[in-house]
Chains A and B, each alone.
Chain A
Amino acid sequence: MLPDRNARPRAVLLLLAALAVGAGVAFMTLGAKGNWDFVLKFRGLKLAGLVLVAWAIALSTVLFQTVTNNRILTPALMGFDALYILIQTTLVALLGTAAVAMLDHNSVFALNVVAMALFSGLLFRWLFAGEERSLHLLVLAGIIFGVFFKSLSSLMQRLLDPNEFMVLQDSFFASFNRIDATLLGVSAAIIAAVSAFVIPMLPRLDVLALGRPMAISLGLNYRREVSLVLVAVALLVSASTALVGPVTFFGLLVASLAHAMVGNARHAVLIPAAVLLSVIFLVGGQTILERVFGFDTALSVIIEFVGGIAFIILIVRGAVR
């Protein structure tokens, strides 16, 4: 029995890694005509963007589900990305596009990220780091937060100058096709830093997944660990939302699939599996749609559709503990 238990996750990870590499190669080479230098550079940037987004969404969802000890809530469902857009809108409203345009893209983003980490840290820490709350209450709170942040942003957007609004509008819809390339460097740095921070935490994440009473009984400083993870989640969501806009159900889809595929719950296996699945879906999906069918923007719609169905299945199957 023992060798079997370790062999299965390893085989799954190897298979997923092969598929992910395959998707990447297909994305870079399929249907390429003309100057290879240009093709590789152009597609390479896009590929890097897709991989970063896939990485950030998968990692943030798994981390979030672990500290909240459930399989249904994701950062997106709790309004994390709505909060990011609200902060972005507020910045533009306060500073004006002129000022925002004057500042360089990266420093506006940095400002955004810091505000996001601060606010979501406070807000979600209040919800999750204290004593246990019912999952139903959390789902409701998430929906209300989401709607509240969205309404507040749209109110502010209405008050904006139409020109300023135009600048902002692009970032409100998920698009894997128009990745904001100027932010690739900073996003990559954020995602790499968060990942490096998470690696030594892996065993503690396994304990956090047992739930609050057991985590405390086993000697974790629960409040501190949960706060750290929530800030990490906020950083990851900022990076992915800045690159492609809000994506609601994708994280849920890959996290659930990763749980189902690796079976046991060690985060050292679970997180790589989720990240690889996420890369396979985004890069593979984009390759198929763009190169095989010649569509342009449909990937986010399809992914949200499939993810939404996964969400409904999870709820109907009674994964709400």
Chain B
Amino acid sequence: MIHANEVTKRYGDAVVVDCLSVTIPKGGITSIIGPNGAGKSTLLSMLARLLKMDGGSVTVGGLDVTATASDVIARRLAILRQDNHLSARLTVRDLVTFGRFPYSRGRPTLEDKAHVERALAYLDLGALADRYLDELSGGQRQRAFVAMVLCQDTDYVLLDEPLNNLDMKHAQSMMKTLRRATRDFGKTVVLVLHDINFASWYSDFVVAMKGGRLAAAGTVDEVIREDMLREIYGMDIHVHEVAGRRIALYYE
């Protein structure tokens, strides 16, 4: 369970996240949705202690993220941000091996190496393991980063817009992989998503934000509703039932 209690972030006079409290349940996929500038990525960064809070507190599985030693949190929670520029030139396997750092402190054991190979196989990266990251396509690189995060073997995995730059096929396979990880290993995956239909289709829980505040939090059925979405995005969105799921149409 991730619990944010009256979390606040401001830059000068601009309040980006405004005294927000939310509880993200353990297990399954939770999507954070909302319009641009709603503070989704900021919230995610604060949940993962990347960004200092100006007020409030966050606990992850009972541990206060700012008070607990960083290496203890690193075995509980992993985060992947949106754009990951590396100045170093690494192979896919090198990168994924870094995921074991919280355990190996840089000296990977046989067990760590087995974890790496499993993560590579899980993301279907076996054939690319010895290629350098700068030789890969955007989608392959994204998969390599996700493999690293899964290799960190944490109960909680936070991903900021993991579908960015992915085509339909790769976006679908990324979401399926994440869903599989929640079922196979009981992980809790928290994502920032822009496409509400991906959120609707794959999420167990949805958190909606608007203007730095919590707009709604609940199951897909509770949040993906025409009145809710109009409130959140300020536009008319029609919600249809397709194959038993909710699909939003907002193109016209």
Neighbouring A residues of B79 by C-beta, 8 Å: 213, 217
Known contacts: A5-B130, A207-B98, A216-B50. The answer to whether A221 contacts B70 by CB under 8 A is yes
A37 contacts chain B at the CB level, 8 A cutoff: no
Known contacts: A211-B86, A265-B89. The answer to whether A219 contacts B48 by CB under 8 A is no
| Contact count band on B | 35 or more
> Are A218 and B102 interface neighbours, CB within 8 A?
yes
Most interface-central of A203, A212, A218, A219 (chain B CB within 10 A): A219
Known contacts: A218-B74, A218-B101, A219-B73. The answer to whether A203 contacts B88 by CB under 8 A is no
CA distance A209 to B143 in the complex (A): 20
CA distance A69 to B88 in the complex (A): 9
**Distance between B161 CB and nearest chain A CB, rounded to angstroms:** 14
As a 0/1 sequence over residues 47 to 64 of chain B, the CB contacts with chain A under 8 angstroms (1 = contact) are 011111000000000000
B residues in contact (CB < 8 Å) with A: 45, 48-52, 69-75, 78-81, 84-91, 94, 98-99, 101-102, 105-107, 130, 149, 152
Taking A131-B52, A213-B81, A221-B71 as known contacts, 11 extra A-B pairs with beta carbons closer than 8 A to each other, sorted by chain A number, are A69-B87, A203-B105, A209-B87, A212-B50, A214-B84, A216-B48, A220-B71, A263-B89, A264-B94, A265-B88, A265-B90
Neighbouring B residues of A264 by C-beta, 8 Å: 88-91, 94
Tell me if B's interface is mostly helix, strand, loop or mixed: loop
Neighbouring A residues of B50 by C-beta, 8 Å: 212-213, 216-217
A residues in contact (CB < 8 Å) with B: 1-2, 5, 65, 69-71, 131, 202-204, 206-207, 209-214, 216-222, 259, 263-265, 321
> Are B101 and A219 interface neighbours, CB within 8 A?
yes
> Are A216 and B70 interface neighbours, CB within 8 A?
yes
> Are B107 and A217 interface neighbours, CB within 8 A?
no
> Are A219 and B87 interface neighbours, CB within 8 A?
no
Neighbouring A residues of B152 by C-beta, 8 Å: 217-218
CA distance A51 to B73 in the complex (A): 43
> Are B86 and A204 interface neighbours, CB within 8 A?
no
Neighbouring B residues of A222 by C-beta, 8 Å: 70
Query: Which residue in chain B gives the minimum CB-CB distance to A217?
Result: B79
**Distance between B85 CB and nearest chain A CB, rounded to angstroms:** 5
Query: Which residue in chain B gives the minimum CB-CB distance to A205?
Result: B106
Neighbouring A residues of B107 by C-beta, 8 Å: 203
- Residue in A203, A217, A259 whose CB lies within 8 Å of B78: A217
Neighbouring B residues of A206 by C-beta, 8 Å: 88, 98, 106
- Residue in A70, A131, A219 whose CB lies within 8 Å of B71: A219
Neighbouring B residues of A209 by C-beta, 8 Å: 86-88
Most interface-central of A2, A210, A214, A220 (chain B CB within 10 A): A214
